[in-house]
Structure 1
């Protein structure tokens, strides 16, 4: 459930942020802000579904998933193929997120 919530949250956040990007940087209509705001609200809700007791830890681990999702967006939505540095950096971040989320804790 946690991984699905993170992936859905990343898609919602990227889509919402892109709505603002399209409005401010690409000269699109302000109407783009309506789905952007809805998408960012969905993002915030989805992070509450993560199965972890501390919000800060959920947000920190989410950062790695967001970075990987952003690199995927770069390739799939913007048509820019990630280079080895993009892929290496994203892998390091995802590993860090896994450590934060699933490290054994003693209390």
Structure 2
């Protein structure tokens, strides 16, 4: 089993890739065939997220959200060739701290 942060990173890449396929088709006038790998990628995302070690789906989704936001900013830079600005970076850092608190905060048994 992958460590949870790595699992969330792969899930985020699958979700972003799937959503970007729809974006490309709809907004960038790409072929409708872009939707085929997009749907597969979104199914992969859902499966990966279900592998989380979190006891509750809501907690897994909340912690995942921070990883998703940071990964989206990396996508902005790497794929769309736009540099995140200082507010993107600060917001992403805050989200990662929040995800860490959710993932690793002490829990009452």
Q: TM-score, normalised on structure 2?
A: 0.96
Name structure 2 gaps, 5 residues minimum: none
Match of 1:38 in 2: 40
Match of 1:89 in 2: 91
Name structure 1 gaps, 5 residues minimum: none
Asked if 1:51 is matched to 2:53, the reply is yes
Could you tell me how far apart the structure 2 residues matched to 1:4 and 1:66 are? 11
For residue 5 of structure 1, the aligned residue among 7, 19, 27 is 7
Task: Please list the CA deviations of residues 21-43 of structure 1 after superposition, one character each: whole Å capped at 9, or x if unmatched.
Answer: 00000111110000000000000
List structure 1 runs of 4+ shifted beyond 3 angstroms: none
Match of 2:19 in 1: 17
Could you tell me how far apart the structure 2 residues matched to 1:56 and 1:11 are? 20
Count how many residue pairs are aligned between Structure 1 and Structure 2.
107
Could you tell me how far apart the structure 2 residues matched to 1:77 and 1:34 are? 20
Match of 2:75 in 1: 73
Deviation at 1:101, TM superposition (A): 1.0
CA RMSD of aligned residues (A): 0.6
